[in-house]
Each structure stands twice: as structure tokens, then as C-alpha cells.
Chains A and B, each alone.
Chain A
Amino acid sequence: MAQRIDVKDLNIYYGDFMAVQGVSMTIDPKSVTAFIGPSGCGKSTFLRTLNRMHEVIPGAHVEGKVEMEGVDLYGPDVDPVAVRRSIGMVFQRPNPFPTMSIRDNVLAGVKLNNKRISRSDADDLVESSLRGANLWNEVKDRLDKPGSGLSGGQQQRLCIARAIAVKPQVLLMDEPCSALDPISTLAIEDLIQELKQDYTIVIVTHNMQQAARVSDRTAFFNIAGTGKPGRLIEMDETATIFSTPKEKATEDYVSGRFG
């Protein structure tokens, strides 16, 4: 189910502008990897290259390799659409499809595939995905209501349910809690702990306590100045990063001295 990702010497561009430079890292399967760093350091940009969402922006492109189990995601025989199916994504702001019911939102990815899915299979998938996202008990009585009627935290968990319904290998989360209140944030964090039993999870967060709470490994990104590309400064076990980092910049950042 879960796969490992190797990134080798990745440079990321918006047109001619280099946004992120020379990132190499390994993301272990069935673990939570957190990306931290100041605003504009390229951690979200980097996350979006892991499932080729980056190239949706006109002019954006990458150099280097992103390999999943040794297969280069940017290889010539790889379809970006298939990449995004295998590597799901949850966004900063919850984005359920407003025109679809809760049930249809969960099934959206499956239905895209034009797979004829029997009603009972669909029901099972909706239930298991919503249970997987810890949302089942809250919405089981109103599956046919629009998803936009839920609270922010519920919407975000609906988006997670939608992402895991297509059974991805990896789940990318781009600051999934930044638009949520503390209680909803806790619910999502608990969910992340459960999801890592089955999925490889990568999470971008601004909140260092969150990174410390949920992740196994942490990567610290930084930027030398405006107009300069972002870089990966250090990546290690989360406990190490927050107690005895090797780099001075990391220590300054995690101890709250800047950023």
C-alpha cells in the first residue's frame, strides 16, 4: 500500500525564477514526514511537485528526479493524472465540491474513473472512507446534503475522506489545519496518527508544535532572502530536529528566534 519516495537534486522553477534549489530527501513509507520553515521558503511548492500539481501553474517546471519505488514520477512514460491518483492531496482550505452531496464528494475520485461501481460497493466505500476520516458518525444521517453545509473542520475531514477513497499510496497535506479552529485541528491530528498505519503522509505546517506532535521525521526549509531560491536545510528524526539540530538556522527557527 504505502510507498517510499526518493527525491534527488530537485530544482523547481516558475518560468525562469528558481523557487526551490537542490532538494534531496527520502520519505519513508507508513510514516509522517513534516515540512517546516518560514513563509515563502518553498515547502508548499516542493510538496506540490511530489504529485505533479506544481506543473498546473503555467510556466512551472522542475529539474531532477522524484522517484516512487525507483520509478521517476517525471519520466516520459508516466502520466501526471495517474501520479495524482496514487499520491493524494489535501489542501490548505477545505474544498469540497459545492455542487455535490457529501456522498458524491467522497465518490468523486472513483466516479471520475468511470468505474461502474455497484450501489452496495459505493455505500461500503463511502462508509469506510468517512470512518477512515473520523467523520462517519457526524454525517451518516445526511449523506445527501451538500458538503458545503458542514463546518470547516468537517469539510476538511470530508476532503481527507475524498482523498483516501481513491486508495492512494501517499497522502500530501498542505497546511491542512491552518484554516481550522483548535478542536478541529486536534481531530485532524488524531486522524493523521491513524492514517499513518496505512499511508505515507507528508504534511506542510506552519505550526511547530503540530510538527512535533504528529510527525516521525521533520524537514526544515529556509530561504536566504527575497528573490533567492528556498533550500532544504536539514532533515532528521523529529525529536532530533527539535532538541539537537545540526544546523544553527534550524535551532534558531525551532526555538522561535526567527520566522
Chain B
Amino acid sequence: MSATTSTPVGDTERVRAMLGSADAGRKRTDRMMTGLIYAAFVVAMIPLVSLLWTVVIRGIERFSPYFLSVSMRGVFGGMDAGGIYHAIVGTLVITLVAAAISVPIGLLTAVYLVEYGRGPLARVTTFFVDVMTGIPSIVAGLFAFALFAIFFGPGVRLGVAASVALSVLMIPVVVRSSEEMLRLVPNELREASYALGVPKWLTIIKVVLRTSVAGLTTGVLLSIARVIGETAPILITAGYADSINFNPFEGRMATLPVYIFTQYRQGTVPCAPGALDCVEDINLMRAWAAALTLILIVMLLNLVGRLVTRFFAPKLR
């Protein structure tokens, strides 16, 4: 005791030296890695900011009610005209048909996996849903083309074929998100329902699906947002058109992504000197404006999806 109360000054100094960080090398490594990790974040922000900035700045030039409300029918060369109405129509029709195919299949598969799934079929399904998420979009397009070519002959281009291609991409996403949402429903709720004598199928519809409806909606909206920007499978199955087509069962259809791609590919137009109604990079201007529209649609879907969960999800915990 007496030894500790009269601490020698040297001992205090020794402790002070020990506690003041002596190891400069480790400190340096730590600081360097912190710097690198912050740098990684900054590096990733550069393309995002650059992309959004460019799309907004270049897209706004041509973005107008006129642009949104006319098609490309009769527009050629460097004409200062044309819009994306037909592409918006095509995008909506094809995506809605794809959703109409995917949501029932995806949702019911998720119900199967969560409520009934036991044994090998459930395991196989889970595994292949994962595998299906990895199908390249172009392969989905080839599949849909091959399927429709049987019935409609080679060279078939139909909106509904594009919808089938998108469904192949969309179903696994719907299954995954719905499964996650259904698993969030506490078992006590199901048991409470059974205890009231409610049969299983009504429990699923009235309790499980009802409780998770906000989450399911969000999942569907996000999956739509994911496939609405698909280009390659639509290019193969629905092709491209200049005019408005509301009928997915007849003829080619344009969609926004394919529109962007076609305009981009046409590039600049050689204008005769002194030509009044000729804009050299009209195609690219249209491409940027269409890209802005597409991004706005995707962001809107994402935003609405998140808001649905935030405001309508029941408080489970």
C-alpha cells in the first residue's frame, strides 16, 4: 500500500509513455485505410453524380409537353420534331402485361414457399428462383422469341412476347420480395386466426396477405421499376416502331429504353448548310430527353414503393 501511495515519478512517466500512442506505424496504416475507404465512397459517387447531372442537363433541353405527347411517325432526318408518346404507351402496355403475368405466379409461389413449402419441391423451387434471378436479360429475350416463333413464325415481333421475356426476369424478383414480406408476418397472427376456427386458406388471404399487403405492393413496384428499363429483350421481341400501338398482340411496339437506344445509334444527322428545319444532334437530344423521362419514371416507382411501406405497413413489432 505504501509503495503505491508514494508513486515514483518515473513510474508515472512510464505509464504516460505507454498510453500515449507509441506505435506510429499502426496509426499510419489505420489512417491510410480510413482514407482508402472514404476514397472508395467518393469514387463511387463520381459516376452517379456525373450520370444524373448529364441526363438532367442534356435531357431538359428537349423535355416538353410536346415531346411527351407526339410519336415519331413521319419524322425523319434532322427534323426538329418527334416525341416519345408511342414509346411511353409501349412501355406501359408491355410492363403492365408483364406484371399481370408475373405477380400472380410470383405471389402464389411465395405463398407456397412460406405457407406450404416442405420437402424437395420447396427446396428445388427456392434454389431455382435464385438461379432464375441470374438469367441474362438477352437470354430471356431469346427464349420469348423462340416461344412465339413457334406459333407466329420466324420474324415475329409482338408486344406480348416482350412481356413474356420481362416476366421471366420479373417473376424471381417478385417471389423473393414477397417471400421476405410473408415471412415477416408473425406466426402468432396465424395461430390466433386458426384458434378462431378460420381455415388455412382464409387465414392466408385475410390475415397473412392482408397484413403484408403494403410490403407486397412495394416489392411489386420495385420489380416493375427493375424491368421497365430493360432494353435488350424488348429489342429482340417487340422490335421498334415509329408510331403508336396499343395492342400487344399485334405488330411491333416501341418502348422508352429501345427508343433511347435507336436514337443513340442513329447519332448525328448531316445537315445541308443553311437548312432551316434541321438540327444536327436532334437524335441525341431526343435520346437524352427520353433517358430523363425513363429515370423519372423509375425514380417515381421507387419513391412510391418506399412511401407505400412507410405509410401503410402495419406496425408488427
Contacts and interface: CB of A to CB of B under 8 A. Distances in A.
When A and B assemble into the complex, do they touch directly, with CB atoms less than 8 Å apart?
yes
B3 to A, nearest CB: 9
B7 A69 contact: yes
Contacts of A69: 7, 11-12, 14-15
Contact of B19 (A4, A28, A73, A112): A73
A28 to B, nearest CB: 7
A181 interface: no
Interface SS majority for chain B: helix
Interface in A209-243: none
Nearest to B18: A86
Interface string B12-42: 1011101111110111010000000000000
Interface of B: 1, 4, 7, 11-12, 14-16, 18-23, 25-27, 29
Interface stretch (A77-85, A94-102, A143-151): A77-85
A79 B16 contact: no
Contacts of B22: 82
A3 B15 contact: yes
16 contacts: A4-B7, A68-B15, A68-B19, A69-B15, A73-B19, A78-B20, A79-B19, A79-B21, A79-B27, A86-B18, A86-B19, A112-B26, A114-B23, A114-B25, A114-B26, A114-B29
A179 interface: no
A113 interface: yes
Contacts, number: 49
A155 B21 CA distance: 30
A84 to B, nearest CB: 10
B18 A82 contact: yes
A77 B4 CA distance: 24
Contacts of B21: 79, 81-82
Top 6 A-B pairs ranked by shortest CB distance?
A79-B21, A69-B15, A70-B12, A78-B19, A71-B16, A71-B15
A82 B7 CA distance: 21
A81 B21 CA distance: 8
B26 A113 contact: yes
A86 B7 CA distance: 18
Residue in B4, B7, B27 whose Cβ sees the most chain A Cβ within 10 Å:
B4
Contacts of A37: none
Nearest to B11: A69
A70 B15 contact: yes
B224 to A, nearest CB: 37
Contacts of B16: 71, 77
B19 A71 contact: yes
